[in-house]
Amino acid sequence: MSGATSPLLCRPEGASGRIHRITPERAGWGHVGFDLWKLGDGGRATGREEGRESILVLVEGKADITSDTVAFGRVGDRARVFDGGLPHAVYLPPGEAWEARAEGPCELAVCTAPSPGGRKAARIGPEGIATQARGKGTNLRHVNPIAMEDRDIADSLLVTEVFTPQGHWSSYPPHRHDEDDFPRMTYLEETYYHRLNPATGFGVQRVFTDDGSLDETMAVADRDTVLVPRGHHPCGVPYGFEMYYLNVMAGPLRKWRFENHPEFDWLAKRDAGEEV
């Protein structure tokens, strides 16, 4: 895809190996880190994060994962992300080294955020994850909450994956979580790792603030990552294509509190059965 590129849009860096390496320094924020490894059979990924916890998600494929304290064995069971099924994931505390060896082609996401430590390495999915339907009509999408606040399995990280059917919108109505004002709102940085089916398609994501100081609209391709430092961030996919995205969020408080855009909030109220 050609044309001007938004500073919020991260294209894959190569066709294999670690194709995304998004550090807080690169993103210009303080919490979220995101790596994506695309491995062939027998390929190897490793990591160790000082002062930061990690959640490893098998987006697709299988890998044998070991850490300093746990041999997890085979993790993952969907050959393709769009085959359906629940995600497999593991949690790693700060300072714990890990290694993943691919058993066939696989994609491994590494989500990181600051942590004081103290938790143990553990398998956190598919056990404890149940698919949820969210939205109505062409706002319907299917959510797998891997590590949201209802599960006490991390200190900072909030991780979820979303499947958006063809012709539907997602992360909609537009909403934001960019103020540290709990319980009204929490400040959460966020990344979106996108996959498309078929892979030749595109999706659209807009990131914009109420005052217009940030307003970026991006055509996202298969395996692109979008940064959301602040503002509203809806996305959609055209008829004929499905969209998947993996969300990573983190901030000062591990809670997800947001506000809908005032000009779109009536949609959420109407869908909840309120009179508008």
What are the tens digits of pLDDT across the range 197-224? 999 999 999 999 999 999 999 999 999 9
DSSP 8-class letter at 111: E
Dig out the tokens for 227 from the structure.
Answer: 């940064």
Q: Which residues are bridge partners to 237 per DSSP? A: none
Dig out the tokens for 178 from the structure.
Answer: 């960019």
Decide if pLDDT at 270 tops 50.
Answer: yes
Would residue 177 count as lying in a domain? yes
Would residue 69 count as lying in a domain? yes
What CATH number corresponds to the domain at position 84? 2.60.120.10
The residues near 24 (Cβ < 8 Å, ≥ 6 apart) are 30, 31, 32, 33
Q: What is the pLDDT of residues 94-107, one digit of tens each?
A: 999 999 999 999 99
Cis preceding linkage at 24, omega within 30: no
Of 22, 19, 23, 26, whose CA–CA distance to 108 is shortest? 19
Q: How many domains does the chain have?
A: 1
Would residue 136 count as lying in a domain? yes
Would residue 160 count as lying in a domain? yes
Would residue 3 count as lying in a domain? no
Sign of CA dihedral 256, 146, 231, 271: negative
Q: What is the pTM of this model?
A: 0.97
| Type of residue at 62 | K
Would residue 157 count as lying in a domain? yes
Decide if pLDDT at 232 tops 90.
Answer: yes
- What domain range is 155 assigned to? 9-271
Decide if pLDDT at 2 tops 90.
Answer: no
Would residue 2 count as lying in a domain? no
Q: In what order do the strands lie in the sheet with 122-125?
A: 17-22, 33-39, 106-114, 52-60, 88-92, 122-125
Would residue 4 count as lying in a domain? no
